[in-house]
Structure 1
Amino acid sequence: MTDKLSGAQKDELMQQVQQQLAVANFQELVTKATHKCYKMCIAKPGSSLSTSDQNCLAMCMDRYTDTYNHVIRVYTTKLQNGLQR
């Protein structure tokens, strides 16, 4: 099938695949962060969250996403440096 695609069509297909991967990675990040932060911050689940629970969840999610973004930046830099050699 890809043998019959033009260069522009292949580029568009590659872009779509990359976007789908980005969405899947983001969904995985949110799922993992939610699970870990909930487990860490919510000792006694109830019908509502206390202010301290909300603060803990917000800070945990911020740390998780900051760490994830840092790892992605380092990985991307190393990957680019490896390609330049």
Structure 2
Amino acid sequence: MSDYSMDIKGNLELSDYSNIFDYLNIVDSGDNFIIRINKENRNNINVINSMLKDNKFEIINEGYDSLGDYSINAYKQK
């Protein structure tokens, strides 16, 4: 089992979603994945959550920190 993480800072553009999708395909089943999204990208959280679910990730927990940034902890199902 491996651990992966991704920090999304700055404004997301359409091409960035392709990069996120590619990164999700690197994660194997049973691996953990943490993605952190800065507060400027709040409007993209639903899209990223959908991408995770479509790629067989189960979200363990998610929420905002004291700075307003969002974090999602998930693992890829077998």
Structure 2 length normalisation: TM-score?
0.28
More helix by share: 1
Structure with bigger gyration radius: 1
More strand by share: 2
> With CA pairs under 8 Å and 6+ residues apart, which has the higher RCO, 1 or 2?
2
